Amino acid sequence: MFSGVNAAPEKYGFPGSRNITGVLEQEHIVQSVKLLKELVPSVKKIAVVFDDDPTWPGVVQRMKDLSTQLVGTEFVRWDAIATFAEYHALLTVLKKMDIRAVHAESRLKAAYLCGARE
């Protein structure tokens, strides 16, 4: 049994296995951004910041692939950061974005932060 794997089942050798079950995590970036734009229609630019955990490359690639479905929304940054100092250095740039979303649960121990431009 597995819980919350982030790569395709083929990567783990799961297809065809009769004794394996679990949940494949899927990103809901399209649905989340569409909902966000219903709530804040002026959103046009989004910056995505994440930590340097090895989980993120696959997740980010899937998010980038899905983001092409979001016409009228520009993802202007996809930044991997390793320290709080790196995050702090990005704050000035992030303040210029319509929305700042940070998901850094592993190394930075920050939960999900999201704030509209001031």
Yes or no: say if 106 and 82 are a contact pair by the CB < 8 Å rule: no
Residues 60-78: pLDDT tens digits?
898 999 999 999 998 888 8
Give the number of domains in the chain: 1
Q: Is residue 13 part of a domain?
A: no
Q: Is residue 104 part of a domain?
A: yes
Q: Is residue 10 part of a domain?
A: no
Q: Is residue 20 part of a domain?
A: no
Q: Is residue 75 part of a domain?
A: yes
Q: Is residue 78 part of a domain?
A: yes
CA 61 to chain centre: 9
pTM over 0.75: no
> Domain range for residue 39?
26-116
Residues 66-118: pLDDT tens digits?
999 999 998 888 888 888 788 778 877 777 666 655 554 544 444 334 443 33
CB neighbour class for 16 (10 Å; exposed up to 12, middle 13-18, buried from 19)? exposed
Q: Is residue 64 part of a domain?
A: yes
User: CA–CA distance from 91 to each of 15, 85, 86, 110 (Å)?
Assistant: 43, 10, 9, 15
Q: Is residue 21 part of a domain?
A: no
CATH of residue 66's domain is 3.40.50.2300
Cα atoms in the 13 Å half-sphere on the side-chain side of 4: 1
